[in-house]
Structure 1
Amino acid sequence: MAKPLSADALVAALQAEGVTVVEHSGWRTHNRNHKGSWGPVNGVIIHHTVTSGTGNSVSLCYNGHSTLPGPLCHGVIAKDGTVHLVGNGRANHAGSGDGDVLRAVVAESATLPAPNENDTDGNVHFYGFECVNLGNGKDPWPEVQLEAMVRASAALCRAHGWSAHSVIGHKEWTNTKIDPRGFAMSDFRSRVATRLGGEPRPTQPSYQPFPGTEWFHKNPRSAIVTAMGRRLVAVGCSAYASGPGPQWTEADRTSYAAWQRKLGYTGSAADGWPGATSWAALKVPHV
């Protein structure tokens, strides 16, 4: 039983565990706290999204839908292993589940009872990660995504002093759900336990710091622009007839706008001028 982490503490815990984090606008105050309690927290629930594509999945989990308002989780873990933070506080992710399962999680029991009675509000007690997957048993789970899921779970366990037994699947919480599908939660907990066996070992690659939006407005000529362009080509957002090269051009801006749209930005937020969040997600290597 623990007090929920603050937004700053959550980001710090994830980054200390070597997770690449993208903070979406407004996530720090985006919650359902007006509908009920948030905390004390007791564990982590892993979900699959039943969606494809990072932008669509993040948008759905942030906004929710007409019958279930967002946030639908605290973080969305993309196929590339990036953790997109979309909520901080009570989130509509766990729903009702079995109180006996909660008691087993609190006790950090090595075995969980089969969920039967849906008599307990899980949104009070659990952090939730929605992991991008169609949930049909055929959509693959890339290793980089699974590793990020393990690290994100371990980050919260480490921050709260929990063991891997504090991490459960949605299907282990309630008999009305089947997620996550495609791997065994017992194997997943074993990986979390292994991860928790040592100190945090950040393995996040070293990326080029964001030079600032105004820097690009000055039409720079720099190896940073070349590195950015190569990453845009690699993620399928190229509008280049040739290159890319070191001189910032309209082709760079058009390519970057395609990247912003791929992340789910629209309108003026996808104008091609780099911002800190989209830049972090692009992972431009150091030059």
Structure 2
Amino acid sequence: MDLRIFTEPQQGADYETLLRVARTAEDLGYDGFFRSDHYLKMGDADGLPGPTDAWITLAGLARETSRIRLGTLMTAATFRLPGVLAIQVAQVDRMSGGRIELGLGAGWYAAEHTAYGIPFPAAKFGRLEEQLAIVTGLWRTKPGETFDFDGRHYQLKDSPALPKPAQERVPVIVGGMGAQRTPELAARFADEFNLPFASVADSATQITRVREAATAHGRAPDSLVYSNALVACVGRNDAEVGRRAAAIGRDVAELRENGLAGSPAEVVEKIGRYAETGSTRIYLQILDLDDLEHVALIADQVMPQLS
């Protein structure tokens, strides 16, 4: 079971904070450092000092880390034109030496679009499908050839499809709990399918749907990685768990039910239940980015038991 760190910088984190967390995660042996792609805080957080752009942040981290995988959960298709996104991700992949992964979603948070003047179209899922086709198509186009696309939302003509990423194939992550279109998009375009904040039972159901969709598209179901994103709140004892839950404004009982909360032994046991669904990767949502001892505790007492 791979463990990755997943952050929500729009809640209040500057680049220096993210760099500290990413370097700590790298030093402690985590497989990846991922971040959300949002421009507006959610809930009661003050959001200070303000949002950081996901791909600008990842470009910086690409030059200031050396091993850890880097990416988004999820880049919003509403934020960027697909041709521009393909260029950005390819460039950051080259800057990292081939360590980038692209999580791409439809976009859902209307308020951040209103706040920053970003169009929020009604047909978001159709745009996501076309973006996935364009981004992956541009990367697949051989040097010296051109790429064309004539869709409802986007049209490309005689694109040189440059630059190319450092990796032969940048892993693409699709996620969500939709019963039909989401599994189909994963089967067609994704290297990984991610389940955001889903229960064990719901994860099992959705993974089954994606596996069936892969088979229907003539693809081996095991060619996809299946992963979960879950809030982490781990402590050596109940008092430490309670302190960490209070710091992020959450209830311990709720976190035990819906996330990965409790002692290292409790968390290992629950991760095992996710593994039984077919999930092989966990993105640990760390909400208190100043609590690096939390990241270290999980690496010391949870990670070794998941080998």
TM interval, short-chain normalised: under 0.3
Greater share of residues in helix: 2
Give the TM-score taking structure 1 as reference length: 0.28
Query: Which is greater in Rg?
Result: 1
Using the size of structure 2 for normalisation, the TM-score is 0.26
The structure whose residues are more often strand, as a share, is 2
